[in-house]
């Protein structure tokens, strides 16, 4: 009375090909995060100063941003990406260096938009001191 073994058929995972996308550069004083998405905003790949292997204050340097951008671009090119629109947010040290690294790694940068959030009226002021 041997039971028949069930055979499972698995589908081969198809890597999606994305020719055009958006690169979001989030540059803070402590780190630079590069996220590359398709045109709908679904993330394809990402990288940051911490992913590269830096810790602490070195993550916020322009060189770490350059390495992170090159890493993200290399991963995106594996998906067939050739062109990106760049959106930059934040005031960190790695803003320009990350854009230059994206261009140097073979991605064609079509446009650059600075979308840094700016407070309209600031935060609520402290209450007045009593005399």
Strands, sheet with 32-38, edge to edge from the N-terminal-most edge strand: 43-48, 32-38, 20-27, 83-89, 108-114
The pTM of this model reads: 0.81
Write out pLDDT tens, residues 51-61: 999 999 999 99
**pLDDT value at 106 more than 90:** yes
Counting beta carbons within 10 angstroms of the beta carbon of residue 103, is it exposed (0 to 12), middle (13 to 18) or buried (19 or more)?
Answer: middle
Sketch out the chain's domains with CATH numbers: 20-114 (3.30.420.80)
List, for residues 92-104, the tens digit of each pLDDT value: 999 999 999 999 9
- Give the integer Cα–Cα distance in Å for 53 and 40: 30
Backbone angles phi, psi at 86, to 5 degrees: -100, 130
| pLDDT bucket at 9, cuts 50 / 70 / 90 | confident
Count of CB atoms situated within 10 Å of the CB of 55: 8
Counting every residue, how long is the chain?
Answer: 131
Mean residue pLDDT of the chain comes to: 92
């Amino acid at each position: 009375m041997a039971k028949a073994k069930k055979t499972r058929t698995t589908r081969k995972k198809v890597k999606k090909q994305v020719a055009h996308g958006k690169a979001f550069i989030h540059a803070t004083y402590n780190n630079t995060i590069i996220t590359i998405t398709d045109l709908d905003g679904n993330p394809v790949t990402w990288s940051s100063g911490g992913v590269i292997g830096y810790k602490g204050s070195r993550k916020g340097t322009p060189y770490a941003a350059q390495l992170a951008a090159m890493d993200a671009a290399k991963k995106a090119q594996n998906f067939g990406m050739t062109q990106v629109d760049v959106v930059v947010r934040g005031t960190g040290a790695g803003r320009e260096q990350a854009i230059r690294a994206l261009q140097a790694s073979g991605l064609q940068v079509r446009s650059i938009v600075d979308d840094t959030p700016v407070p309209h009226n600031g935060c609520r002021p402290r209450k007045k001191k009593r005399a």
